[in-house]
Amino acid sequence: MRFDLVTFAVIIFPMYRDTQHWIETLEKANELVRIKTPVSPTLEITEITDRVSKVYGPALLFENTGTDFPLLINSMGTEDRMAKALGVDRLTDIGHDMEELFKQLLSPKESLLDKLKLLPKLGSIASWMPKVIGGRGACQEVVMQDPDLTKLPILKCWPEDGGPFITLPVIHTKDPVTGIRNVGMYRMQVFGPKLTGMHWHRHKVSARHMQEYKKRGEKMPVAVALGGDPAYTYCATAPLPDGVDEYMLAGFLRKKKVELVQCLTQDIQVPADADIIIEGYVDPNEDYILEGPFGDHTGYYSLPDYYPKFHVTAITHRKHAVYPATIVGIPPQEDAWIGKATERIFLVPIKMTMVPEIVDMVLPVEGVFHNLVVVKIRKEYPGQASKVMHSLWGAGQMMFTKMMVIVDGDVNIHDPVELARYVSANFDPLHDTYFTAGPVDVLDHSCSVMAFGGKMGLDATSKSPEELSMRKTVTGTNDTTPIDLPALKVKYPEIRDLNISLLEKGISLAFLSIEKNKPGHVKELTRALFALPEFRRIKGLIVLEHSVDVQDIADSVWRFSNNVDPKRDCLTIESTDDGAFNHLVLDGTRKTLAHDGFQRDWPNILTSDEATIALVDQKWQEYGLGTFLPSPSNKYRKQLYAGGAVAE
């Protein structure tokens, strides 16, 4: 019997037959709580889940949703559960398997024996390819006679959301010319029993498919799968190159091909073992519908905009189907671990096919995927950090990365303190800061125009003699002049708070909160502060608005990385003193027309309303979730701007 990595994976970690099998697995591992008390999909489930996800709590199965369908949420809400969902002990195991596969396929094959040794691996790859089977699948056991989305427990997540949204849809489209399938995940706002929006952005493959159908004057078939093997949900989010079938990746993860069945009313195929299938079409020539607001993964509302209409033609499901959902919002949430899987899995193809000097990569949860990336490289020549930045900015979905930090050496980039200390030691704000502009995520509210804005790269690698030859080097400062915050507040009454706690850890970074009251205020104030002797030892200063608690560093990083357009909002200040560092200021405050000339609407942050918080407080013991967890929204409600989804 052949016993290789593939066989081992299948024996130890079999793929999940369906959502029920996934639920049973979680329950046996004491990773799931069944909630039997009646709950409302409107706001209540979100508030419960937000409390649980913030403490990395269990998966939740709401069995009494007011519909015929139980609802599963937070099932991938920890790194361990995310690994279980993909059939491994650790997420790094997938990368190791992928690296081994790449090495075998890409290494030179000089002899006939070498080529023959590759045949079993090629056979394994063939066994991962998706296959269309005849007849109906389990996902089609029940056909709704009158398709009605309101019969599903679809969530309204946050108070200012435009309505209920399907939040874990695995959406299938195909190119009308090539027939190549795309599987993606785009939220769907429900407008009626048979109508939703289809929130695909201009950069997405499905949006390009729609343009091809428009050229042909044809309606576009679409199918939405809910549930089934959790690998499907992950693969719908994976940043695969155009033309690569997401179900091939699912087959690799499952070590078994995905079986697909033909839809009943649309010419498109879906996983046979899914729980629920929604079939329909998009008419590219039809007027778009105003969709949103929606409480998004940035922790802010994404504001209303026009998107295509999706018309439902059929809904089918298993006899005992489970409706899967997720919520997104202020991190951490379940989506953080989906992002962690992508970080671990796609590091391998990036470094093996495009940027070979990459050693490791981290997408900090506070950076909500696209705002902040840390890359560790094997440095061999001057300027290599700049080369890596620009290579990654040109690579697939990495093009949306707003801020990139490049390090080298032995630093553990998964240890935030060790990483920050290394960056602080090796980064000179005047010489090691790179700016460019390009595509940014559509959800980025900080850029002056939608989907286009500034980017920043920080070269925090150890510097070669060539790189140091043209600069004044300050290896450190012995100045420990204390900062008298009360005196500063008297002199500059706009200052609310200052966090310099990182200086004691050898990290030359501080956080300042102020109440802006005039144009150019941040630049004027920070120039004045860096003229003071007590600020000589601070390299980096992040400025936030007065309502933000700058003593909470994680929250401060989250707020600043969302609110900054680095090219527009960055100030470098050259030291005129040989004993002081150069300085970098990043303005992470809200931008307004009056103070910044900013002309776009600024969104609010996400919190539950007081009535929902009180309801969940009152019912907590009924849920069976153990020790009372206070609402995370209590922490953030004082930071809300006046207004609704749009800040006044």
Catalytic residues: 296
Q: What is the rounded end-to-end Cα distance, in angstroms, of the chain?
A: 69
User: Which pair of structure tokens corresponds to residue 2?
Assistant: 């052949």
Q: Which H or E run contains 173?
A: strand 170-174
CA distance 422 to 433: 16
User: Which pair of structure tokens corresponds to residue 587?
Assistant: 């303005």
CB 296 within 8 A of CB 249: no
CB 140 within 8 A of CB 264: yes
DSSP 155: B
CA distance 225 to 276: 6
Q: How far is CA 614 from the centre of its chain?
A: 30
As a three-state string, the secondary structure of 64-84 is CCCCCCCEEECCCCCHHHHHH
Residue showing tokens 């200390």: 421
Distant-in-sequence, close-in-space partners of 408: CB < 8 Å, separation ≥ 6: 376, 377, 378, 379, 385, 461, 462
DSSP 606: P
Dihedral sign (CA 160, 166, 169, 175): negative
- CB atoms inside a 10 Å sphere around CB 4: 11
As a three-state string, the secondary structure of 410-467 is CCCCCCHHHHHHHHHHHCCCCCCEEEEEEECCCCCCCCCECCEEEEEEEECCCCCHHH
User: Which pair of structure tokens corresponds to residue 346?
Assistant: 């796609």
**Backbone φ, ψ for residue 494 (5° rounding):** -75, -15
Given phi > 0 = left and psi -120 to 50 = alpha, else beta, which region is 451? Answer: left
Starting at the edge strand found earlier in the chain, the sheet holding 259-262 runs 131-132, 259-262, 269-271
Q: How far is CA 459 from the centre of its chain?
A: 24
Nearest C-alpha neighbor of 445 from the set 330, 622, 640, 592: 592
Q: Environment class of residue 82 by beta-carbon count within 10 Å: exposed (0-12), middle (13-18) or buried (19+)?
A: buried
Residue showing tokens 């502060």: 529
> Exposed e or buried b for every residue in 594-622, given b needs 16+ CB within 10 A?
ebbebeeebbbbbbbeeebbebbeeebee
Strands 323-324, 181-184: pairing is unpaired
CB 404 within 8 A of CB 434: no
CB 37 within 8 A of CB 64: yes
Tally of CA atoms within 13 A in the half-sphere of 515 that contains its CB: 7
Q: Environment class of residue 14 by beta-carbon count within 10 Å: exposed (0-12), middle (13-18) or buried (19+)?
A: middle
